[in-house]
Chain A
Amino acid sequence: EAQVTQNPRYLITVTGKKLTVTCSQNMNHEYMSWYRQDPGLGLRQIYYSMNVEVTDKGDVPEGYKVSRKEKRNFPLILESPSPNQTSLYFCASTHLAGGLTSYEQYFGPGTRLTVT
């Protein structure tokens, strides 16, 4: 089954404790992206990757890191989480051939992160 998986789905952590949210897709997609969703602010893009070893900042990259060492995985790293990073996080992927308009974006199930 074609899917995007995220782990963990729920996480409560404390300020400053480094954490990684994993994202994996089994569709051989070139493009992957991370978003956060906050009430009243909609979805905001954190980082995106056009392919292995190619990553770019979205609209809200501060406090986050990403890496794309393999095509299928795109982990989101919070080196020193703070309470303002409490949010619902979504990973998504798309096939890139023909441009990003040719294929729909598949979203993962979301990770709800609480930083106390």
Chain B
Amino acid sequence: ILNVEQSPQSLHVQEGDSTNFTCSFPSSNFYALHWYRWETAKSPEALFVMTLNGDEKKKGRISATLNTKEGYSYLYIKGSQPEDSATYLCAFRGNAGGTSYGKLTFGQGTILTVHP
């Protein structure tokens, strides 16, 4: 099983703070890196799919960067709001040939709590 790690495990911030989390993944056989947002009692919701080294993606106040050579991705949230409170998951797709790129390995997630 591939090693995909996220840090920190949990984070408490005040409304208006900016914050960031890290996802580390294997640097070989890279295919894609996904970010998901998962609110309690709901299903995970896709944020970004990143494929190229140096990729930067942005959706509103949330952005992400990717470094495939060193095997890490950062997720940034600018001006956190209470509605940003959720678990943020990253997931790694490798490509070792055939249909192996269908396999998705998730990190354990970073639980973000934004206090009003």
Contacts and interface: CB of A to CB of B under 8 A. Distances in A.
Given A43-B44, A104-B46, A107-B44, A56 B103 contact: yes
Interface residues of A, number: 28
A59 B103 CA distance: 8
Contacts of B101: 99-100
Interface residues of B, number: 24
A106 B42 CA distance: 12
A45 interface: yes
Contact of A45 (B105, B107, B108): B105
Given A33-B102, A43-B106, A100 B32 contact: yes
Interface in B81-116: 89, 91, 93, 99-109
A43 B89 contact: yes
A42 B31 contact: no
A31 interface: yes
Contacts of B93: 100-101
Contacts of B104: 33, 45, 48, 58
Contacts, number: 61
Interface string B42-85: 01111001010000000000000000000000000000000000
Nearest to B108: A42
A112 B44 CA distance: 15
A42 B107 contact: yes
A107 B43 contact: yes
Contacts of A41: 108
Interface in A48-105: 48-50, 54, 56, 58-59, 90, 99-102, 104-105
A115 B46 CA distance: 30
13 contacts: A40-B108, A42-B107, A43-B89, A43-B106, A45-B104, A50-B99, A90-B43, A100-B31, A100-B93, A101-B32, A106-B46, A107-B43, A109-B43
